[in-house]
Amino acid sequence: MATMQLHWDIFCRVIDNFGDIGVCWRLARQLVAEHGRKVRLWVDDLSSLAPLCPSVDSSRSAQVSHGVEICLWTEDFAVDRVADVVIEAFACDLPETYLAAMCQSATKPCWINLEYLTAESWAEDCQGMASPHPALPLVKYFFFPGFSARTGGLLREEGLLAERERYVSSVSDLRPLEISLFCYDSAPVGALLDALRDTTIPTVCHVPPGKPLAAVAAHLGGNGPWRVGMADIQPVPFVPIDDFDRLLWRCDINFIRGEDSFVRAQWAGKPFIWHVYPQDDGAHLGKLEAFLTTYGDGLETTAKTAIRRMFVAWNVGENMASAWQGFLENREAIARHNRAWAEHLASRPDLTTALVNFCATKV
């Protein structure tokens, strides 16, 4: 059984948003549902998982949902067993007691550092790289999600695109332009709302709670809903992770942020605008540029320029009105490209399958 690597432990620390736990939860569910693995998800903040999966009770330190054993990761971590595969998500650092137990195992587990998603070329060179521990008899492997065949791919459940098509076919075409607005608090939300006020297309903008809604309320005042020009700005409740997919499928344009919603917006096959997690040293702009270069390959010049201007305006906070107008004017071409882009990405192995196959070679 051990050689089949049936037991997996995933460790996740929640930083300040839902991206890290969203990725880990999707990975854990898929390992169980599609690969028959037995998974424990160790998370230090269960209250961040509960909104994504309402069946989770954040007051319980141990429980099972969707076949995944979910455990609260506390400072006084106690080891009862070591898994065949151990994933530290996003360099979260394993508990010292768990590392010690790994060293004592007769068969050393496959230790994976699941990295953040990037389109930067250096990730291809680092994919699968082995890193022997400087003091312990253990080896860690770096696994990079990505957009090319030389990376680990993207999280994608079996049948996801077919499910998307079934849902999209049920949505009426006789409706206003629908937008979802999911961003960090540094996004130029006020400038976008001003641009929507000048838009001549009937529009509905769905705004989830938290930072997006706070930014809208700060600019427009009150609690909403609001009417600006021909646009209805509507607060919406926080939805579970699968319902969020359906929101992206329904909307014509999706503003998304971070990593998890960034990937899901690409599977939606709809025009999207990505708000990169801001970094003080401006490194996020390099990540943005790398993605735009990869994503824009094969796209006609006018639409490619419109995408670039809108992404940069949204992340830098300048020239929003003209960038938004150009994006709208090229929306149909962008939508065609995004559907083709999603099919292109789906032609490669999904991240979970690639990870299972990679670990199978490290017995």
Catalytic residues: 20, 259
Q: Where do the H-state alpha helices sit in the chain?
A: 19-35, 46-49, 96-104, 122-126, 160-169, 189-197, 211-220, 241-250, 260-268, 283-295, 301-316, 320-329, 331-346, 351-360
Q: In 12-159, which ranges are continuous DSSP H helix?
A: 19-35, 46-49, 96-104, 122-126
The order of strands in the sheet holding 231-235 is: 226-228, 231-235, 203-207, 177-181, 253-257, 272-275
**Beta-bridge partners for 24:** none
- 3 state DSSP class of 162: helix
Those residues whose C-beta lies under 8 Å from the C-beta of residue 336, and which sit 6 or more positions away, are none
DSSP letter at 262 equals: H
Q: Are 194 and 226 in contact (CB under 8 A)?
A: no
